[in-house]
Amino acid sequence: MFFGIFMVFVYLGMAALLAVNYFDWSNAPLWKALRWLFAIVFAAYGLYRGYREIKGEHTYGMRRYDDQDKNNS
């Protein structure tokens, strides 16, 4: 669970860093569009992963399926 929460902060932090141009990418239109595209993708995935973490739907390590098997036995 700690790793999942940590990764949510990593994705949202990366989105914030890209949004404020922390890495000093060129302001050429292509690079600016790519920077914003990546910022939006990181933010969306961070929010999605945070939602899954809160709802308990994380499946890394097949936890959800392991829990179902324990309940059936």
pLDDT digits (tens, 9 = 90+) for 12-32: 999 999 999 998 888 899 999
46: which residues sit within 8 A by CB, 6+ positions away?
8, 9, 10, 11, 12, 14, 15
Domain that holds residue 35: 2-72
pTM score, whole prediction? 0.73
C-beta of residue 18 within 8 angstroms of C-beta of residue 39: yes
Nearest-5° Cα angle at 65, 63 to 69: 115
Nearest-5° Cα angle at 62, 61 to 63: 90
- Counting the structural domains of the chain, the total is 1
Q: Which residue has the higher pLDDT, 3 or 37?
A: 37
Q: Averaged over 41-59, what is the pLDDT?
A: 89
**Mean of the per-residue pLDDT values for the chain?**
84
Pull the structure tokens for residue 43.
């933010």
